[in-house]
Amino acid sequence: MTTLSTSLILASGSLARRVLLEESGLTIQLRPVDVDEESLRRACEAAGKSLGETAMALAEAKAVKSAERGEETDLIIAADQILDLEGEAFAKPKTLEEAQNHLRTLRGRTHRLQTAVVLYRGRRKIWSNLAVPELTMRLFSDMFLEAYLEREGTTLLGCVGAYRLEGPGVQLFSSICGDHDAVLGLQRLPLLEALRVQNALLT
């Protein structure tokens, strides 16, 4: 359970992340922020940062922006995730056609999800974690792909890789290696331990 001594903020509008935290018994406040992710990605690329470092920079930017709207005692959780296919980054698709192209490219191949999570106390970073689960898509048919896109529709436009593992998207895969929560966007166990260290949770 969350103690009443501090506000626990999620700097995200992600339903999956919110559900993960609430299912864990945490009481959170939602404080989504607007970050120019594309510009920050380009700056990280120009600086020679890895995709993992870029995901971490994006998570940190979200936390800092959220902190500007709160109190110095707030505990702020922020996260970002980049799909990494052999060093090539995939952003969220903008159209269903783009989602279809992403899935065709990923089909039969293994990709990684660079999943960064940070915890801030006000404007100060006090903890961070990077998890990199690996996922292999099976060689599904074009017929299956069409049916999947029709069923999921525009919900896929909010998903890196154009799939929701917590839904029918699990049928796209032949194997998954790594933290399941990190695939969904927020590695809970290390985060919960960090919150206990901060005395934000009962021990």
Q: How far is the first Cα of the chain from the last one, in angstroms, to the nearest whole number?
A: 10
- Give the Cα separation of 193 and 203 in Å (integer): 10
Alpha helices in 70-186 (DSSP H): 96-106, 142-152, 180-184
Asked about 80 being catalytic, the answer comes back as yes
Sign, CA torsion 191/196/200/202? positive
- Give the Cα separation of 13 and 107 in Å (integer): 28
- Give the Cα separation of 187 and 179 in Å (integer): 7
Catalytic residue chosen out of the listed positions 80, 84, 179, 181: 80
CB 148 within 8 A of CB 172: yes
Catalytic residues: 80
